[in-house]
Amino acid sequence: MLQRCGVDAVEVRTVAHLDGVEGLILPGGESTTVGKLLCRGGLDEAIRQRVAQGMPLFGTCMGLILMAREIEGSDQFRLGLMDIAVRRNAFGRQVDSFECDLPVPSLGMPPVRAVFICAPYVTRVENGVQVLASVQGQTVLVRQGHLLGAAFHPELTEDTRIHRLFLDMVADSKSLSEKHGSGPECPSNRASSPHGCGTPSFSG
Residues taking part in catalysis: 61, 153, 155
Q: Which residues, 174 to 193, sit near ligand GLN by CB under 6 A?
A: none
Q: Of the candidates 23, 29, 54, 56, which one interacts with ligand GLN according to CB under 6 A?
A: 29
> Using CA atoms, how far apart are residues 114 and 156, in angstroms rounded to an integer?
8
What are the CA-CA distances from residue 114 to residues 92, 100, 111 (Å)? 16, 5, 9
Q: Of the candidates 3, 49, 53, 89, which one interacts with ligand GLN according to CB under 6 A?
A: 89
**Mask 35-74, x = binds ligand GLN (CB under 6 A)?**
--------------------------xx--x---------
Q: Is 87 in the site for ligand GLN (CB under 6 A)?
A: no
> Using CA atoms, how far apart are residues 37 and 194, in angstroms rounded to an integer?
11
Q: Of the candidates 31, 139, 144, 192, which one interacts with ligand GLN according to CB under 6 A?
A: 31
Peptide bond connecting 110 to the previous residue in cis, omega within 30 degrees of 0? yes
What are the CA-CA distances from residue 143 to residues 3, 36, 74, 132, 199 (Å)? 23, 25, 23, 7, 23
Q: Of the candidates 5, 8, 20, 30, which one interacts with ligand GLN according to CB under 6 A?
A: 30
Which of the ranges 24-32, 43-51, 175-183, 186-194 carries the binding residues for ligand GLN, by CB under 6 A?
Answer: 24-32
Q: Of the candidates 28, 56, 154, 194, which one interacts with ligand GLN according to CB under 6 A?
A: 28
Instruction: Give the dihedral sign, CA 63/69/74/79.
Output: positive
Cα-based torsion angle of the residue sequence 194, 198, 202, 204 in order, rounded to the nearest 10 degrees: 130
In 3D space, the residue among 194, 199, 149 whose CA is nearest the CA of residue 169 turns out to be 149
Nearer to ligand GLN, 29 or 56 (CB): 29
Instruction: Using DSSP, state whether 119 is helix, strand or coil.
Output: coil
Nearer to ligand GLN, 49 or 89 (CB): 89
What is the total count of residues that contact ligand GLN (CB under 6 A)?
11
Q: Which residues bind ligand GLN (CB under 6 A)?
A: 28-31, 61-62, 65, 88-89, 117-118
